[in-house]
């Protein structure tokens, strides 16, 4: 029998807060209940925002909380060659295209073309305009030869057209994992998402699906804020022939103002709580774990 495999996958672009503690401890609890494994993955592809100091802080905070994980820890920045190989497949299959518009160009284009009714993704960001997808091959080549900045975007229309049937994922109804339901994936809601940058051959979505598959992750337990992103990830799994894990998107820990915690929310930072004399047991009690 293969062991169930869980993972906690923080990004070292800030300090861990109570929301991360909940996610990490819930993964640990569910892995223990299932007699499974817990992996730790450092998601540091954003080399401008991720720092070794934040990474050190993550290890210190997780050890303090009593989290135990299997070695080795996978650090995404050490695997760019693997992401590049997968990206090259998507390029060869013409499922991605170079997108040249800057944020201000996107904004200007949308304002000119009717503005208000422009479709937005679940995070409220306007979808990428269809101009670059339709760029003549010669013009595309010319821009690339001129070293114009660009990002690789998924041609979501072409990608979904490849699917034999509809796309769904299995979501646990709660943390006991006793019931699942099939959720219809809606990758179109995000438009042509970025799957890689010019200088970084991956994005969050691409790295996550590849790593979950390579590491044999069977159960993805993460915050509700990533629920609809799962649609894009399911599509990438399908295009790359990766078998999908099951998912549980847990409740978010909210701040005193009722809003999602952010990395700049100092009061709920684990380091600050520790310095204020709060114990790991207090944290668990606070989180209802």
SS3 94: coil
Nearer to ligand GLU, 128 or 204 (CB): 204
State yes or no: residue 242 binds ligand GLU (CB under 6 A): no
Residues facing residue 281 across a β-bridge? none
SS3 121: coil
State yes or no: residue 222 binds ligand GLU (CB under 6 A): yes
Binding mask 132-161 for ligand GLU (x = CB under 6 A): ------------------------------
| Cα end-to-end span (Å), the chain | 29
For helices 80-92 and 204-214, what crossing angle results, to 10°? Answer: 110
Two tokens at 183?
């959720």
Work out which of 4, 9, 154, 283 binds ligand GLU, going by CB under 6 A: 9
Work out which of 10, 19, 201, 231 binds ligand GLU, going by CB under 6 A: 10
Alpha carbon distances (Å) from 99 to 64, 122, 195, 200, 202: 44, 21, 11, 14, 14
Nearer to ligand GLU, 22 or 150 (CB): 22
State yes or no: residue 226 binds ligand GLU (CB under 6 A): yes
State yes or no: residue 208 binds ligand GLU (CB under 6 A): yes
Tokens 């007699």 found at: 35
State yes or no: residue 211 binds ligand GLU (CB under 6 A): no
Work out how close the CB of 226 gets to ligand GLU at its nearest, in angstroms, rounded to a whole number: 6
State yes or no: residue 202 binds ligand GLU (CB under 6 A): no
Work out how close the CB of 144 gets to ligand GLU at its nearest, in angstroms, rounded to a whole number: 30
Between CA 187 and CA 194 the distance in angstroms is 12
Three-state SS sequence of 135-161 = CCHHHHHHHHHCCCCCEEEECHHHHHH
Work out how close the CB of 230 gets to ligand GLU at its nearest, in angstroms, rounded to a whole number: 9
Work out how close the CB of 165 gets to ligand GLU at its nearest, in angstroms, rounded to a whole number: 25
SS3 41: strand
User: Which 8-state DSSP code applies to residue 199?
Assistant: S
Give how many residues touch ligand GLU by CB under 6 A: 7
Between CA 20 and CA 132 the distance in angstroms is 38
Between CA 15 and CA 8 the distance in angstroms is 15
Work out how close the CB of 42 gets to ligand GLU at its nearest, in angstroms, rounded to a whole number: 9
State yes or no: residue 62 binds ligand GLU (CB under 6 A): no
Work out which of 15, 28, 40, 43 binds ligand GLU, going by CB under 6 A: 43
State yes or no: residue 234 binds ligand GLU (CB under 6 A): no
State yes or no: residue 272 binds ligand GLU (CB under 6 A): no
Task: Say which residues have a Cβ less than 8 Å from residue 246's Cβ, sequence separation at least 6.
Answer: 169, 170, 171, 172, 180, 218, 219, 220
Taking CB under 6 A as the binding criterion, the range among 3-11, 105-113, 138-146, 246-254 that sits at the site for ligand GLU is: 3-11
Task: Give contact residues for ligand GLU (rule: CB under 6 A).
Answer: 9-11, 43, 208, 222, 226
């Amino acid at each position: 029998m293969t062991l169930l495999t869980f993972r906690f996958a923080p990004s070292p672009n800030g300090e861990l807060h109570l929301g991360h503690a909940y996610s990490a401890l819930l993964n640990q609890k569910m892995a223990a209940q299932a007699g499974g494994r817990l992996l730790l993955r450092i998601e540091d592809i954003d080399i401008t925002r991720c720092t070794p100091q934040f990474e050190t802080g993550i290890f210190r905070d997780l050890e303090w909380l009593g989290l135990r994980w299997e070695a080795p820890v996978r650090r995404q920045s050490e695997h760019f060659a693997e992401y590049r190989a997968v990206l090259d497949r998507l390029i060869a299959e013409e499922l991605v295209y170079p997108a040249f518009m800057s944020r201000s160009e996107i904004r200007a284009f949308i304002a000119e073309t009717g503005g208000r009714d422009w479709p937005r993704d679940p995070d409220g960001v306007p979808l990428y305009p269809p101009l670059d997808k339709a760029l003549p091959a010669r013009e595309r080549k010319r821009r690339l030869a001129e070293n114009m900045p660009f990002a690789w975007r998924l041609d979501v229309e072409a990608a979904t057209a490849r699917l034999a049937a509809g796309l769904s994922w299995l979501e646990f109804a709660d943390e006991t994992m006793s019931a699942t339901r099939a959720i219809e994936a809606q990758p179109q809601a995000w438009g042509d998402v970025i799957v890689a940058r010019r200088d970084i051959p991956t994005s969050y979505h691409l790295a996550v699906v590849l790593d979950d598959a390579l590491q044999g992750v069977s159960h993805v337990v993460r915050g509700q804020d990533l629920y609809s992103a799962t649609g894009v990830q399911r599509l990438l799994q399908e295009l790359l022939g990766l078998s999908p894990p099951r998912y549980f998107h847990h409740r978010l820990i909210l701040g005193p103002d009722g809003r999602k915690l952010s990395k700049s929310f100092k009061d709920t930072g684990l380091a600050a709580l520790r310095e204020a004399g709060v114990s790991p047991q207090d944290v668990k009690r606070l989180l209802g774990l």
